[in-house]
Structure 1
């Protein structure tokens, strides 16, 4: 993302990769010089933040300004007070499973467990120096009575740095291969640091965006809170990001501007996977991204309304794209039951999914449910033989294949065997968990680095529902859509989900405009047919969204009016909690 966005050169019907919430002038500050001047006024500060931040770069840039101004600085670096690397590795080992395991379990430690806390808290400001700074992840654990500057880092930038070997996990001194680093980030580092961020939220005075190696933008927390309050009453769109994959296609790359075209494909768009998406604020053209959890910590009641007590600060609905256009089939897979994901991985909700067909070619297919003749023992034997001997499996002997059509909704409650076939653009509407995919068969292909992709037959067979077979699949796992409301130029279509899904789906179809009440519920939305729409909420906020852009109307918005900007009928998907 650029440091500054002077003007947006996109048409109203073009997908925007840098959606912003504009603040008043003078709210986002640019550069280390401006941050240094803030620190000079305070004299003693805590600079805390996320894993993956280039702490040495920040220290060096600030120190240059202090030196130029003849100021002495006492730097206390948190990395000095981490426990020995092997001691930390022993502490977190129970949460990482075996080295070859794809998943771990959410860490139940606290961030301070990784530090030599007595030594750390014993480091006090030096009255003989002009400035005192404790810097690094966990800096607020020092206990200093000082303003906290929190340096946030978007998850996509963190993963780019990880793959480049530019960062390590928290408490590690060596770079590992990306597979193990991501697992440790997901199950340990992110858990500890998210909890820490929540605990110190009231102490934070400044939030900075650490995604640029040589620059920084920052904002006062009070001004960020004003922006979050504004979003929580109106419309939210996170910054999307895009990832290639072994089965990836070309719909995203060919139809979305301003993304890197120098990739083999795009398999995913992280439209709304909030553990890894951020919110972008703008002032005077300067951009600042913060993680979505700031909004949920600050405004969960306004966002989720009647469901806030149940889900707390965990946003429960996910939207993402699976792009197999001119690509390949996804693996034959299933997802864990609620008890299984809670007992084995420490999650609170499970990966219940649906596939909404946003676009597809003729004869595109979705694999879903078992053939009536399925024999579990035989199926497992064939899968294990394929994994062992690299044999192809005629998968339709066991799993049903269904023709996909635009606007179909395929229902995938946990335990259901499924896969998206080639030549689809799938809008995956799901519960938020997103990495717990048990692959049984992956068409004998390698990943983009030329390595075999993990197969998880044991986990899959601990969760597969073999009763979802035969005629039951058509009856129960393909949504039967019906019109439940209509007027002269609009229709409301119910696109029902499975009884096990805790969310439901409507499609609003209209020619001109239509007004919708939130009834104190959050709506997750996307224009799935048409060129562009405008949404105007009850508080007067107005925003335009193009085809395939995801946006969220929080419960506190109360009502909104959708206006069709195109010449043909607009169709908008609305997912909401039951």
Structure 2
């Protein structure tokens, strides 16, 4: 998968009238006015239904609750528009005649120069796409003694401490936590509407993203985890002048419910330099007025959210909450190994009528741990969901590969903007629907034009070392970063010749067959910690989880019904990703389409 999406901003992106979002993507509605019929077509707003009176809308309702408490803590994620939250509450509280003592945490951050010094070791070099995962704690960025000294003032009727890190003041009061979807955070970042923690200035988007990814998000995820049992109210901060909120007890009940039945995250979509037209043509509800779509974040859980619904009101919360609260139910026998880090991702790479991805590779496990501070590395596979007849995949080296000659050609291309005859060095393989190409770390690869790739991979998703990018610019006319040195520290030059076809292109094997059911094994590489099955059936079939999480997608057919042991029933359409947690115990798949169904199942070995 290609590097950080923030380097490929949305084509035709415009800053909205309020100057808060730079994107062509639609803002999720706070309330569903019309709901897609589940399973009839791909749904961009999949919800977990909580029943009536569980999610509440508006600052007026939240202010009424705050008044009853008299003293509250309002903490939250990066990207929250705290001034708007304060205004939204203040106007409703003031209307009722109450005096308010506001304590704002931004006043108690350490001086900016001191914060910059603290985080600098984790940001790599100025020209690098990557940093290293931060090992600080959120309180390291604050003047904790001064913040702790700001306690409720009895001269006021209402006391509110507000802002990221508010809980660090240790008020003995109910906690409101405001969460923020990562896609909306990045749209605000690109518009210059928000800043990094402790920063007073807006920086270039790719630098802000790097700081968010390696520092801010790490600190705030850790902080969120520590607050899990202290939260009284959870709120969604993605709307500038509105808010949806719910009580933590109802939220936890929703998490518990999905951790034993079915999980589907909210997908989101981004254009890119090589992007195509398949997503635009096949997925309803997204903005079609963009040049292309390159990615769909189907299940890249560090940046996906879960949507809850009650009375039509929607509330999105990060996937992290589910793993913090229910990792054992989700991962079963693999929870001890991976903890609260969900290990598998699904995403689409769309090159239909688009271009080739860059020629690239990913870091070895030791390299990503030593250099970037990650726990697992970017081991990938390409499952061809759809393609044209001329589609291909670049994978592995030619048998006569000379590493020095290849490196020299790449460096010359970078320095002199000259074309590289890639096929002199890298093999090209025809792509067909349902093929699976194996891309363990260090493997040279690229998806060619006219593919819709379902990328089934380990979760890390930004560590792509591009060696050659076909001399093109990104959507804003800027060169895309090339990382030849990183690549050559990781390339596996033994992946060459006939070995590529024998070991890096999966050979399907039927391992179970009945009159209505065929189970196909699509073996992954020995270096992959996950494996892949395809379940093919005409009517219905039953599958045991065996205390293992299953990540699934309908890759052929119209729609399927999923029934789990707890009685839950969900219908999913073609190309929708869904997760069956280990605690579901078993599930039944029923084909609701008119043609045979094929469902991919990825699972941990």
TM-score interval, normalised by the smaller of the two chains = over 0.9
**What is residue 15 of structure 1 aligned with on the other side?**
42
Q: Which residue does 1:57 correspond to in 2?
A: 84
Q: Does the alignment pair 1:189 with 2:204?
A: no
Report what 1:356 is aligned to: 383
1:549 maps to which residue?
576
* The one of 476, 484, 487 aligned to 1:449: 476
* Corresponding residue for residue 232 of structure 1: 259
Q: Distance in 2 between matches of 1:306 and 1:123?
A: 45
- Kindly indicate whether the alpha-carbon contact (under 8 Å) linking 2:183 and 2:303 is maintained by their aligned counterparts in 1: yes
* CA offsets 1:144-168 (integer angstroms, 9 cap, x no match): 1111100000000000101111111
Q: Which residue does the alignment assign to 2:25? A: none
CA distance in 2, matches of 1:356, 1:444: 27
2:14 aligned partner = none
Deviations 1:434-471 (A, max 9, x none): 00000000000000110000000000000000000000
Quick one: distance in 2 between partners of 1:554 and 1:202? Answer: 22
2:491 aligned to 458, 464, 470, which one?
A: 464
Alpha-carbon separation, structure 1, partners of 2:258 and 2:166: 29
Instruction: Report deviation, 1:11.
Output: 6.7
Residue 440 in structure 1 maps to residue 467 in structure 2 = yes
Q: Describe how 1:459-538 pairs up with structure 2 within 5 A.
A: 459-538=486-565
Aligned to 1:376: 403
**Match of 1:200, SS?**
helix
SS across alignment from 2:223: helix
Secondary structure of 1:406's partner?
coil
- Is residue 411 from structure 1 mapped to residue 411 from structure 2 by the alignment? no
SS at match of 1:75: strand
When residues 557 and 364 of structure 1 are mapped into structure 2, their CA distance, relative to the original with a 3 A threshold, is same
CA-CA distance at 1:12 after TM superposition: 3.1
**Structure 1 residues 152-167: aligned runs within 5 Å:** 152-167=179-194
Q: Which residue matches 1:86?
A: 113
Q: Secondary structure at the match of 1:227?
A: helix
In structure 2, what is the Cα distance between the partners aligned to 1:115 and 1:11? 46
Give 3-state SS (helix, strand or coil) of 2:241's partner.
coil
Aligned pair count reads 578
Greater shift in the superposed pair: 1-10 or 323-332: 1-10
User: 2:128 aligned to 101, 115, 118, which one?
Assistant: 101
Structure 2: distance between partners of 1:390 and 1:135: 51
In the alignment, does 2:170 pair up with 1:115?
no
- Deviation of 1:6 (Å): 3.3
Does the 8 Å contact 2:36/2:43 carry over to 1? no
Correspondence 1:255 to 2:313: no
CA distance in 1, matches of 2:390, 2:475: 27
SS at match of 1:120: helix
Aligned positions of 1:211-226 closer than 5 A: 211-226=238-253
CA contact (8 A) 2:38 2:572 kept: no
Q: How far is 1:10 from its partner? A: 4.2
Work out the CA distance in 1 between the residues paired with 2:426 and 2:65.
Answer: 62
2:288, 2:169 → 1: CA distance? 45
Displacement of 1:13: 3.0
In structure 1, how many angstroms separate the alpha carbons of the residues matched to 2:285 and 2:201? 34
**Alpha-carbon distance, 1:7 to partner:** 3.1
Pick from 300, 324, 331: which aligns with 2:351? 324
Which residue is 1:420 aligned to?
447
Could you tell me which residue of structure 1 aligns to residue 58 of structure 2? 31
What is the CA–CA distance in structure 2 between the aligned matches of 1:245 and 1:407, rounded to whole Å? Answer: 24
**Deviation string, structure 1 residues 406-454 (Cα, Å, up to 9, x no partner):** 0000000000000000000000000000000000000000001100000
- Offset of 1:120 from its aligned partner? 0.5
Structure 1: distance between partners of 2:71 and 2:105: 15
On the 8 A contact 2:38/2:571 being kept in 1, the answer is no
Asked whether 1:311 is paired with 2:331, we answer no
CA shift for structure 1 position 9: 3.8
TM-score, scaled relative to structure 2: 0.95
Match of 2:205 in 1: 178
In 2: Cα distance, 1:121 partner to 1:459 partner: 44
Query: Equivalents in 2 of 1:227, 1:423: separation in Å?
Result: 40
Q: So what's the TM-score if we normalise by structure 1?
A: 1.00
SS of equivalent residue, structure 1 residue 205: strand
For 1:73 and 1:404, locate their aligned partners in 2 and report how far apart those are by CA, in whole Å: 64
- After superposition, the CA RMSD in angstroms is 0.6
Secondary structure of 2:323's partner? Answer: helix
- Higher deviation after alignment, 7-16 or 116-125: 7-16
Shift of 1:98: 1.0
When structure 1 is superposed on structure 2, of 498-507 and 163-172 the one drifting more is 163-172
